């Protein structure tokens, strides 16, 4: 069934997509089918990419064969869900589209290897007269060829949500999960005009995750640090074991489980903190820092491991669903060197110093809090200037 566009929605409504992630408990036969599907998806991707490259070298034109071409030479492809193979074709086509559109940002599609590739496949739901191909039951999910797979739901969809597709993935520790994408029509949120009193300015901080313009800091919970200490001790024990031994394999499994635990703790912290900020403020001003460049310049600490990029993305879509604004300030603005009291720009402020004094007005600033105040001021000025409004509006 064709997907509705925004123009086909009722007046005052828009399409919204929600994802529910559930834990799967497949039977041995279902797990074997999942493993076959993972392997077939990698195989069909590599075959299509190889044929595309060969066709381009011979003719100079871009062409990607469909999965149906390979089923006669590879009969094992008929054992898995055809929708999973079709989605691999769509992903490869999308990868080439974004590469041709912006080759400086997106790289050329690469071949997949089992040890590097993430085990996952996607299948779309289709509605027929006999019923949908994918649907949820009281304690499971019905999939094509796999049947009803037992699942544990942390939440349930609303009755009017429409199931669009599912993505089954396997973690490094051997657990199976399913991400279910739903589509629904919701009332379009009314735009909220921010004011200085209802706007927050956030500055990225390595030791505190972020610092707000009012001095608040989002220090990551202590249990996250404790888990990372356990991880370092486990890595030390692994380095002393004989690779391939039984104790080594058991330690590797514990290592993978602990890594997933830390990732889940980080995601839990990011989602709860972004939700708290979204409900408390009408707008959030944040600087568009290039985290990969910061990670290259910083010798100590893992900038990308903190998940600040994911935090910004969570803020963006959660604010948008409430009609609120995420205001991005250019990363080249001298927010740290600008006095938030008088606007004087200091030529150089040492990043080793946590405080500095403005030579013009004598105001003493905390470096990160002062930067957050400037980010807030510039974000609001940018918002009102783009809409031709006054800041007092």
pLDDT tens digits, one per residue of 290-342: 877 777 777 666 677 778 889 999 999 999 999 999 999 988 888 888 888 88
Alpha carbons 164 and 155: distance in angstroms, whole number? 17
- Same domain, residue pair 182 and 200: no
Residue 276 tokens read as: 């708290």
Question: 108 pLDDT exceeds 60?
Answer: yes
- The residue among 281 and 351 whose pLDDT is bigger is 281
Q: What distance lies between CA 167 and its chain's CA centroid?
A: 15
| Rounded CA separation 207/220 (Å) | 9
**Of residues 249, 240, 211, the one with CA closest to residue 370:** 211
Q: Phi/psi at 150 (nearest 5 deg)?
A: -65, 135
393 in a domain, yes or no? no
Query: Which percentage of the chain shows pLDDT scores above 70?
Result: 93
> Across residues 180-195, what is the average pLDDT?
90
Backbone angles phi, psi at 356, to 5 degrees: -155, 155
Same-domain pairing of 168 and 225: no
What pLDDT, on a 0 to 100 scale, did the predictor assign at position 7? 47
Q: Read off the pLDDT of each residue in 271-280 and give the average, rounded to a whole number.
A: 94
Residue where a domain terminates, one of 153, 187, 221:
187
| Residue % of the chain over a pLDDT of 90 | 49
From the list 90, 84, 88, 91, the residue with the least C-alpha distance to 37 is 84
**The pLDDT of residue 393:** 43
Find the mean pLDDT for residues 137-159: 93
Q: Pick from 163, 187, 211: which residue ends a domain?
A: 187
Total domain count for the chain? 2
Q: Please, what is the average pLDDT of the chain?
A: 87
Give the SS3 label for residue 92. Answer: helix
**Residue 48 sits in the same domain as residue 146:** yes
Range of 145's domain? 6-187
Window from 47-56, 70-79, 132-141, 212-221 with minimum mean pLDDT:
212-221
Residues forming beta bridges with residue 22, ordered by sequence position: 178
Q: Is 290 left (phi over 0), alpha (psi -120 to 50) or beta?
A: beta
3-state secondary structure of 270: helix
Q: What CATH number did the domain enclosing 287 receive?
A: 3.30.420
**Same-domain pairing of 234 and 255:** yes
């Amino acid at each position: 069934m064709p997907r509705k566009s925004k123009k086909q929605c009722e007046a005052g409504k828009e399409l919204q997509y929600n994802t529910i992630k559930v834990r799967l408990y497949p039977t041995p036969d279902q797990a074997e089918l999942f493993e076959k599907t993972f392997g077939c998806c990698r195989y069909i991707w590599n075959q299509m990419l190889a044929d595309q490259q060969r066709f381009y070298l011979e003719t100079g034109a871009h062409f990607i064969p469909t999965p149906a071409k390979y089923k006669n030479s590879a009969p094992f492809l008929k054992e898995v869900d055809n929708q999973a193979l079709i989605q691999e074709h769509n992903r490869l086509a999308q990868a080439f589209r974004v590469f041709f559109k912006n080759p400086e940002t997106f790289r050329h599609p690469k071949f997949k290897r089992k040890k590097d590739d993430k085990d996952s496949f996607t299948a779309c739901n289709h509605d027929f007269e006999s019923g949908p191909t994918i649907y949820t039951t009281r304690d499971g999910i019905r999939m094509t060829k796999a049947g009803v797979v037992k699942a544990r739901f942390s939440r349930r969809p609303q009755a009017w949500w429409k199931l669009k597709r599912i993505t089954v993935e396997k973690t490094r520790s051997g657990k199976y999960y399913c991400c279910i994408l739903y589509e629904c029509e919701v009332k379009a949120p009314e735009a909220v005009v921010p004011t200085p009193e209802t706007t927050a300015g956030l500055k990225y901080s390595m030791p505190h995750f972020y610092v707000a313009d009012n001095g608040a800091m989002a220090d990551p919970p202590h249990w996250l640090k404790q888990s990372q200490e356990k991880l370092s001790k486990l890595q030390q024990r692994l380095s002393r074991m004989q690779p391939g031994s039984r104790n080594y394999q058991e330690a590797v499994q514990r290592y993978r489980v602990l890594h997933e635990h830390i990732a889940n703790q980080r995601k839990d912290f990011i989602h709860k903190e972004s939700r708290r900020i979204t409900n408390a403020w009408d707008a959030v001003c944040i600087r568009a820092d290039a985290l990969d460049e910061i990670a290259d310049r910083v010798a100590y600490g893992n900038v990308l491991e903190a998940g600040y990029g994911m935090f910004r993305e969570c803020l963006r879509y959660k604010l948008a669903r409430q009609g609120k604004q995420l205001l991005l300030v250019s990363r080249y603005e001298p927010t740290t060197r600008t006095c938030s009291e008088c606007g004087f720009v200091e030529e150089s402020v040492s990043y080793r110093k946590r405080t500095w004094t403005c030579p013009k007005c004598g105001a003493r600033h905390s470096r990160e809090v002062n930067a957050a105040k400037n980010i807030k001021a510039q974000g609001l000025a940018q918002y009102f200037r783009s809409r031709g409004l006054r800041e007092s509006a």
